[in-house]
Amino acid sequence: MKEVTLSELDPRLQKQVENARKVVTKNPAYAIDIMSNIVARNPACVEARQILRKAQNTAHAGKSKGLSKFMTRVTSIPFAVSGDAKVKKDPVKAMESAEDLIKANPMNAAAHKLLGSAAESLEMYGTAALAYECLYKMESSNTGYVKGLMAAYIELGRNDDAIRVGEEVYRKDPTDEEIQALIKKASVQQTMDKGRWEEDKSFRDKLKDEEESQKLEQASRSQTGEEGLRMLVEEAIKGIEAEPGNMNLYRDVVSHYRKLGEFDNALEWIGKARELEAGRADVNLERLEGAIKRDKMTAAIEEQEAILEGDPENAVAKDTVAKLRAEERAFRREQSEQLVQRYPNEFSYRYELGELYFEDGETDASIKELQLALRSPKVRVNSLVLLGKAYKKKNFHDMAAEQFVAAKSEIAGVNEQKKEVLYELGDCYEQQGDMEKAMAEYKSLYSADIAYLDVAQKIDDFYSKKNG
């Protein structure tokens, strides 16, 4: 669906828009009434939807924060399961449903996500950007929202905005390769756009010649291939020579070497970065260093496992694999414990440590860390799910159910994690003898994925008993 501007609307509607615009702050309810009707009749008009959103936010501003959060959770639940299906079946109808929910509560994250997904499917990238901008304002740490916003900006040619948003996340977590790829895509597109202005001397000076421009483009297209990655390494190192204090360029070098599997080179450049004052104070570099060391261990394990595939009885390879796995495990745990000690208020580290404790069977220690990890929006859902599993291990099924209910309300759409939560919640209710509640969860899962574990058998058994 092609998006349109206000100037393309009927002149009479344009007059109504102007009237609404004038009273957005003084009488938002009136503006909402006008703009809701206009958006309903002209869903492709982004500007109209922007004015509507401003009026809705103004009207909502007086509500308490606690009430806002409560309403977000409540109103998002019905669409958490059915959102993806609505988009696929009828994206236009999905947009209408999303607007109804937003009208009830402008802070409904699931509704904005539904709108963004539906707009993307219709190639309405201006509308998608608006939806993801709202989500980004609500939760800037949610990388899913950031990626959606960046993708929409790139489609709109707003590459500067895409890079700006991406770099904010990248500085916090340089290990997110999807964010890196989107930043690179926006940067290359930005370069190509500038390249179309042949009279731009400053740009020609920067690129030097057309061959270098083509080189950059080729590298971006093949950045997952060895040749492309080495080009990117060279470009980043040249950049460091010009800007020796630019930490992002050091991260680029490290990232490219990591993708090449040259872990020693990656670690060498981390060492160079940490010689700088900015590098010594960069927590994420320390985390990245640990991740690459683990990658190196994993590669060594895989090498020995490849030997075992060809020679299953190779005793040396067996012993080496067992030793390397034990070392890798001990390293991960030691590193996590050190990070928690040094940065006790960085709650994402708490989640990682809690996960390791859980896997090692230290359930109480795991619960302690996961309860603290709930304070981080970035890992909150994962923490809820794992905390529920930890309570289940202790047979605290009522407490486990509380965690899964909370996680269920915060996951939009039906992804693999949502399926897992529905199944675990159903099992909790089943263990408590509440089959009515259990079957409600199993049915939701069955409707989304009949092949998920043994949910089909559970449903069949239930109806056999009921009808027998």
Domain assignment present for 292 = yes
Residue 142 pLDDT class (50, 70, 90 cuts) = confident
Q: Of 61-75, 272-286, 336-350, 400-414, which range is least confident?
A: 61-75
126 Cβ contact list (under 8 Å, min separation 6): 3, 46, 152, 156
Percent over 70 (pLDDT), the chain: 86
Residues 415 and 383 in one domain: no
Domain assignment present for 33 = no
Residues 381 and 353 in one domain: yes
Out of 383, 404, 425, a domain closes at: 404
Residue 214 has pLDDT above 60, yes or no: no
Tokens found for residue 6: 């206000």
Out of 404, 432, 450, a domain closes at: 404
Domain assignment present for 427 = yes
Higher pLDDT, 202 or 178: 178
Domain assignment present for 319 = yes
Residue 53 has pLDDT above 90, yes or no: yes
Residue 82 has pLDDT above 60, yes or no: no
Domain assignment present for 294 = yes
Q: Tell me the average pLDDT across 433-458.
A: 93
Q: Give the phi and the psi of residue 4 in degrees, each rounded to 5.
A: -125, 160
Separation CA 179–CA 163 (nearest Å): 10
The residue behind tokens 């309403």 is: 71
Residues 354 and 391 in one domain: yes
Domain count, the chain: 3
Residue 87 pLDDT class (50, 70, 90 cuts) = low
Residues 365 and 325 in one domain: no
Residue 204 has pLDDT above 80, yes or no: no
Domain assignment present for 138 = no
Range of the domain at 306: 283-330
Tokens found for residue 68: 């806002």
The residue behind tokens 């539906």 is: 118
Q: Tell me the average pLDDT across 102-128.
A: 90
CATH number at residue 374: 1.25.40.10
Domain assignment present for 378 = yes
Q: Tell me the average pLDDT across 290-307.
A: 85
Separation CA 246–CA 259 (nearest Å): 21
Domain assignment present for 468 = yes
In tens, the pLDDT along 239-261 reads: 888 888 888 888 888 888 888 88
Residues 390 and 421 in one domain: no
- Separation in Å, CA 249 to CA 171, 275, 289, 343: 12, 15, 16, 25
Percent over 90 (pLDDT), the chain: 32
Task: List the alpha helices (DSSP H) in 2-156.
Answer: 11-22, 28-41, 46-60, 65-89, 91-104, 109-121, 125-138, 143-155
**What pairs with residue 45 in β-bridges?**
4
Out of 404, 419, 434, a domain closes at: 404
Closest CA to 348 of 367, 373, 383, 384: 373
State the pLDDT at residue 85. 58
